[in-house]
Amino acid sequence: MDNSKPFIQNCRFLDNFAGEGGAITVSTDSKPVVSNCLFARNQAAAGGAISFRMNGDGLFTNCTFADNVADRGGALHCTFGSNPFIINSILWNNSANIGKEVYLGTAGAHPGFYYCDIQLGSAGFGGFGGTHFNGDYLFNLERDPQFAGEGEFPYALGNGSSPCWNAGTPDTSAWFYRQYLPDVCLCGNIRIGDNRIDIGAYEYMLTTGSATPLSRVNDGLLIYPNPSSEEIRIDLDMQNTGKVVIELFDLSGRMVALPVEQNCSRGLQKLIYNPGQLARGVYSCRITAEGRTINKLLVRN
């Protein structure tokens, strides 16, 4: 894909072959959002599952990358200024001559990994950029996800002892992307069970606890479009009349825009927020109202 921003959800990319990007190549300023997808048994010279190049970025949340094969980057190949965000995803049992799971071809490629399960961790990243990796690597696991290994869904979590169970981004976290997730996973289980999402494209079938469809998990706040390059809209459900404060921070905690205050009445509020000129990247948008504070991740493209 070139110069495009598709939204891809609940897909399986299996047994594909290409010279670059066995399943997908993200190139030339493309910024896809890919949610709840499986990439397995794909092959390529560069990027067994996905190749990112020429400022190709995007956001990938709750995906599973497994058993992909490449010469460089068993799962992911990133080069030439590509900085995708990989969230709540499993990268396991992929293979390559250089970069078993991830290959970073240049120092200018800085992907970010958040709440993922990655075999060998960042220490296993290959390529010049891999040995000099300085992108974000936060809240990740490096433990066997314990795939089921057989049946109709071999890449589902095999049992409740999987380290990926209930280990994804908490729905109160700024890294949680409710608006991009379906109600059910690839095998039909409720996407959030036991009040916290699992890592990967499959939710473990609960035998105890509660399961709430994603569309019903509601903190009363929605930010969209996200990613965005211009103004954003904020839907906020106010229980009482009061002041709303909007603040924006980079990931180091530095405030990057002047706070905005607005008096709002009771009920659903539809606010417009323009943070101004910001560098491309990830920011934390903090909304304070009625004595509570909610943080949401905002991707600027």
The pLDDT of residue 224 is 75
Find residue 38's DSSP bridge partners: 12, 64
Residues 168 and 239 in one domain: no
Structural domain ending residue among the three candidates 214, 248, 269:
214
Residues 147 and 91 in one domain: yes
The pLDDT of residue 217 is 37
One-letter identity of residue 144: D
Per-residue pLDDT tens over the stretch 147-191: 998 888 899 998 768 999 989 988 777 778 888 888 778 887 778
How many domains does the chain contain in total? 2
The pLDDT of residue 239 is 87
Residues 203 and 226 in one domain: no
Residues 76 and 130 in one domain: yes
What secondary structure does DSSP assign to 197-235, as a single string?
EPSSS-PPPPSSS-B--GGG---SEEEESSSBSS-EEEE
- In the chain, what percentage of residues exceed pLDDT 90? 53
Residues 134 and 249 in one domain: no
Per-residue pLDDT tens over the stretch 181-227: 887 788 877 787 666 899 999 988 544 333 333 333 345 677 777 77
The pLDDT of residue 295 is 78
Structural domain ending residue among the three candidates 190, 214, 238:
214
- The H helix count followed by the E strand count for the chain is 1, 28
Instruction: Say which CATH number the domain at 272 has.
Output: 2.60.40.1930
Residues 138 and 275 in one domain: no
In 3D space, the residue among 203, 207, 124 whose CA is nearest the CA of residue 164 turns out to be: 203
Largest CA distance in the chain: 60
Strand order in the sheet with 59-61: 7-9, 33-35, 59-61, 85-87, 112-114, 137-138
Residues 169 and 83 in one domain: yes
Statement: residue 43 has pLDDT above 80 = yes
Q: Does residue 17 sit in helix, strand or coil? A: strand
φ and ψ at residue 179, rounded to 5 degrees: -70, -15
CA dist 50 and 235 (Å) reads: 34
CA dihedral 191, 180, 64, 168 (to 10 degrees): -60
The pLDDT of residue 99 is 94
The pLDDT of residue 73 is 95
Residues 260 and 148 in one domain: no
CA dist 146 and 144 (Å) reads: 5
Q: What residues contact residue 62 under an 8 Å CB cut-off, 6+ apart?
A: 35, 36, 87, 88, 89, 168, 181, 185, 197, 199, 200, 201
Cα–chain center distance at 40: 18
Residues 180 and 87 in one domain: yes
With the C-alpha atoms ordered 226, 232, 235, 241, is the resulting torsion angle positive or negative? positive
The pLDDT of residue 193 is 65
Residue 275 CB-half CA count within 13 A: 24
Residues 7 and 62 in one domain: yes
Per-residue pLDDT tens over the stretch 63-119: 999 999 999 999 999 998 899 999 999 999 999 999 999 999 876 788 999 999 999
Domain range holding 184?
1-214
The pLDDT of residue 48 is 97
Residues 112 and 4 in one domain: yes
Q: What is the mean pLDDT of residues 252-274?
A: 90
Residues 5 and 149 in one domain: yes
Structural domain ending residue among the three candidates 166, 191, 214:
214
Among 171-175, 217-221, 231-235, 281-285, whose mean pLDDT is lowest? 217-221
Per-residue pLDDT tens over the stretch 10-26: 999 999 999 999 999 99
